[in-house]
Amino acid sequence: MKIVFAAKGHEYLIEGLKELGEVVVFNEGNNNRWLVQADILIVASLPIVDTDLLEKFPSLKALVRIGSGFDNIDIKVLEKRGIQFIRVPEGNRDSVAEHTLLLIIGLLRRVNKAIAKGFKAPWDREGVVGNELKGKVVGIIGYGNVGWEVASRLVSLGCIVMVWDPHRRLNPIPGVKYTSFEDILSSCDIISFHIQDIKNGYLFDIEHLEKVKKGVLIVNTSRGNIVNTEALIHGLKSGIIGGLAIDVVEGEPDSRFLRELKTFNNVIVTPHIAGHSQEAYNKMKELVVRKIKYSLSI
């Protein structure tokens, strides 16, 4: 079994993959003969998997996507070629859910200001009085693996949780209510995005900004391109958005928006690390090998 590894940032998987066969790290200088013989291609949010890329892999049997999203993958081309598509969204769902809570609580407790003041003596607590999470109305956009985990944690912490999902994939747990996208915009104190597969345009744009509660907190740990960053910046400047916490952003990793976002003291940005924890790595190692063996009957 020949495996091409193109999942930058997930190199911890390589050692485990070696039990399945030979592994080579993909780059533009790879030997074309090796690519022609490859059985499995491992990717993350990059590279873009389209017809042009797949032409380099005529013998490919399976494409493995590390993580939950697949917006960089042309599913129709895979189906046309008969290439099996393997995902491991459950591998890092706990990690992403916990990171989401970190961001939500960080916004509520004004952690950016608090940390800055904590390093200045004498201590000054003026301007860092925060808010509690309990009792807040939280809207979850996308009720899949991660959305479910976030919702269950928020319910246990005393939140009122509303969810919207275009596919209504999972039944709501007690304390979680399915509702419309519009109701979430108008009713929620906090809106958290956990949706992966919006193909065209933005899910949240300037017109949606006009429908939210004033002072709403926005959190995004899913995909940067589902939310219009210019609309978010407008909302921050106007005071419509009371705080923004993102682990993803349009144009990452070198987004043109980062410099402007840095000027706000009610914005938290982390560098797409929500799914990166030692426990998630261990689960991914096991799941990737197991799913490849099962799918290809190895």
Active site residue 98: no
Which sign, positive or negative, has the C-alpha torsion 62, 66, 67, 69?
negative
CB 289 within 8 A of CB 13: no
Taking the C-alpha atoms of residue 268 and residue 220, their distance in angstroms, rounded to an integer, is 11
CB 129 within 8 A of CB 174: no
The residue from 110, 194, 272, 276 that is catalytic is: 272
Residues linked to residue 162 through DSSP beta bridges, in sequence order = 139, 177
Which residues are CB-contacts of 135 (< 8 A; sequence separation ≥ 6)?
A: 158, 159, 160
Active site residue 223: yes
The residue from 252, 260, 279, 290 that is catalytic is: 252
Active site residue 272: yes
CB 266 within 8 A of CB 112: yes
In degrees, rounded to 5, the angle at the alpha carbon of residue 279 between the alpha carbons of residues 274 and 281 is: 75
The residue from 10, 223, 250, 276 that is catalytic is: 223
Taking the C-alpha atoms of residue 281 and residue 273, their distance in angstroms, rounded to an integer, is 12
CB 61 within 8 A of CB 114: no
In degrees, rounded to 5, the angle at the alpha carbon of residue 101 between the alpha carbons of residues 95 and 102 is: 85
**Would you give the distance in Å from CA 216 to the centre of its chain?**
20
Taking the C-alpha atoms of residue 23 and residue 15, their distance in angstroms, rounded to an integer, is 9
| Whole-Å CA distances, 198 to 22, 92, 261 | 35, 20, 24
Task: Just list the catalytic residues.
Answer: 223, 252, 272
